Chains A and B, each alone.
Chain A
Amino acid sequence: MKRNSTRRLTLSALLVAVMLILGYIESFLPVGGVPGIKIGLSNSVLLLAVYWLGIPTAFLLMAAKVLLSGLLFAGVSGMMYALAGGLLSMIVMSALYKVRGFSPVVIGMAGAVFHNVGQVGLAMIILQTDKLVYYMAVLMLIGLATGFTTGTVAKLLMNRLPEELKP
């Protein structure tokens, strides 16, 4: 793990920067008229981080992304929801990665689904309403689709990125 810490640090910083930019660009890409939906391209990056940098680092990257994009774009309340989604999604993705035998595409799908579950779940807790169940279900189905996209992107990245990048 500690084999090449400068490389690891550089790659981590690079990935956080990439996530911030993707997150910003994404906010201009509406997905199918459903309020509050994004493709979640950061998910690809985090998945890559899980595979290349390990689970603890991937959690740190997620926290850094949430904090920075919260300060830069989303505001404090946005940060809260992003953190809820990010944490749940990272927990699920890490668990599936640990179990092994799951394809990165499927891990990405599960991550996206649970990202949405975390966000709507927090909203349900804060707003004290159970009426968002339907919305959550819709977001889960959408998460399957967006997760397929981001998981595929992550898989392609893992195969295509130059070996030298890998720590």
Chain B
Amino acid sequence: MTRSKSITSAAFPLRLVARLWGDRMSAVLTLVSIAILVALVPVFEWAILDAHWAVAAPADCRGGGACWAFIAAKLRLILFGLYPPEAQWRAILVIALILALVLLTLSPRLWGGRLMLVWSAGIAVMLVLMGGGIFGLSPVPTSKWGGLPVTLLLAVLSLGLAFPFAVILALGRRGSLPVVRGLSIFLIEIVRGLPLVGLLFVAAILLPLFLPADWTIDKLGRTLAALTVFAAAYLAEVIRGGLQGLPPGQVEAAQALGIPYWKAVWHIVLPQAIQKVIPPLTNTAIVMVKNTSLVLIVGVFDMLSAARSAATDPAWPAPSIEAYLFVAGIYFIICFGIARYSRHLETGIKSRSQS
């Protein structure tokens, strides 16, 4: 006791020494930390000190550190894929629109039917902007869409479209109608039992073989459908967890007040069920954002595929690490943002349940 007291009251450098080396465990951890820092020195040299930030010709990047000049040169390709350069402003506008809608959605106070209308309108505008063909916009086929807008559109649309299906599946699985319950369980378990890659192959390659030849559903659309089905199964189980945690008295109170079933679901049941499952919901959202990168195996040109194809340019000496790091950075920003936002929501809920 007296020893620790004398340490805490000592001068700062002395306290630091005591913290870092005070006992055997601290000493070991300090040594390990130093070893990790030393090992990171070459990484730091490669990424910052020896890096080429701007070069006159691709060949100047040979040798030395990271070639960030490559990212600058290929930024357009990585972010927008094969989208026609003269129409690129439309893709930029789509990204801005998605970000604006996401920002608008952050405040729970605005949640409701009206916000869903705004989203629907926004998505219609985005699809028109990306695809063109009307209002004097030059048409761009979906095979030319690529990069960040495709990644964001797939993530937002698959989660957004999956949500209502997930709610119906979750309610169905907990309901009293045996046929509906059986069907819900069957669908959820089938989809959860399949790998996403398998679903994507079925949607992109197998499905067109079975559909009539004149049924030309776009490949991007089919990929989105596969992602949606996949997300719906997982979201349904998350939401079911929230429904199970809801006291039966809540539904009884809504019934006793004469609130019709679907209105009670929308205003009373779902808001509470979702509040209870924000952490796993966040988890699913993050996983789905990253899952969109799997569409590259069926030839949809998302941000990761775009980065990969940019890295194959023979003019540049092996820049794939830089390209992947750059894309990883963007994914991290998106996923970390989702995680921070969910924590913000949880603190808001906590403050309401305590005086």
Q: Do A and B interact?
A: no
A contact residues vs B (CB 8 Å cutoff)? none
B contact residues vs A (CB 8 Å cutoff)? none
